[in-house]
Copies of this chain bind each other. A is one copy, B any other.
Amino acid sequence: MQAFVMERVGETGMVEKEKPEAGPLDAILKPTKGLVCTSDCHTVHGALGERDDLTLGHEVVGIVEEVGSAVTRFEPGDRVAVGAITPDWNSEAAQDDHPSQSNGALGGWKFANVKDGVFQEYVHVNDADGNMAHVPDGVSDHEAAYTADMLSTGFAAAENADIPMGGTVAVFAQGPVGLMATKGARLQGAGEVIAVETVEKRQELAREYGADHVVDFAEGDPVEEIMSLTDGRGVDAAIEALGTDQTLKDCIKVTKPGGTVSNVGYHGDGEFRHIPREEWGVGMAEIDIVTDLCPGGGLRIRRMLRMLENDLVDPTKMTTHEFDFEEIETAFDLMDEKADDIIKPLVHFE
């Protein structure tokens, strides 16, 4: 079968691979729609170290081709979504309510990290009963593909932010995760949402997803702007959805004493992140800094699908480009370069 892989650091390509086989608890999925994520670009640039013909991709929807002997909730022909993160549910970390960290830091992240990802003709899903969900009628494959990472991660950013009903939230960066964090803040009861972004198309989407204000960091210091918008109080919560030192520092600076900084950005380089000591209240201002890796699991995906089923969010507005699987390298390159105002490219497998 065909697979779009990271051949080695810096190089991608289409290669021929053996079709995967299902162990007793696993399933094999035939993808229908997928999405390309910036994380894959990081991986190809070496953020996770060297890889050898590792299949890329972690956002996918498809049809069950085969299930292992012990799988009870799914059968061939089922239309299913699967999380980007597929935890080991009996691990210590999962028992401790941190399934994404099962078997070590970020250990629930398997696709395109420790095993082949989803950009191939057949996809292996570990613990199918635990990690897949049926896609309800009325939810398209296109929509459902967004549950794997964009909805789950973006919404988690808002859930972790501990937003009081009617509280104020700043969301730094409006890429697809940031946009879903903006929407997520609204769905967690935020009274005022301030989005930080400079790209016009993303600013527009931020407003559509519920931002009350958009602060353009290219036109002035966003910290000053946010402090001004909050009468000098700072926000109840700030969400970091980019992964840079500057945005994390700014998050801390705009968060009021007693507030929360919720990070979902992937911090890809540098030895340290910097906490500004004074704005952090010299360690005593009760500003929490919390982080998350995309929650996975069948229950999580089912809940995300329910939100699509009941029209609470339309993530397909973020789909700026579409490609056939054969053209996936073009999709990947556009995403890598953030060219052509791309936000999210959809991949058709058939």
Contact = CB atoms under 8 A, between A and B. Distances in A.
Interface in A267-297: 267-277, 280-293, 297
A127 to B, nearest CB: 6
Interface in A78-108: 89-101, 104-107
Contacts of A269: 277
A283 B258 contact: no
A270 B318 CA distance: 42
Contact of A89 (B94, B265, B300): B94
Nearest to A303: B166
Interface in A106-154: 106-107, 127, 129-131
| Interface residue tally on A, bucketed by range | 35 or more
Interface of A: 24, 47, 70, 89-101, 104-107, 127, 129-131, 155-156, 159, 164-168, 184, 186-189, 191-192, 212, 233, 240, 243, 248, 257-258, 263-277, 280-293, 297-300, 302-307, 309-310, 312
13 contacts: A24-B70, A90-B130, A95-B99, A98-B258, A104-B257, A166-B302, A166-B306, A263-B283, A265-B283, A284-B292, A287-B291, A288-B288, A289-B290
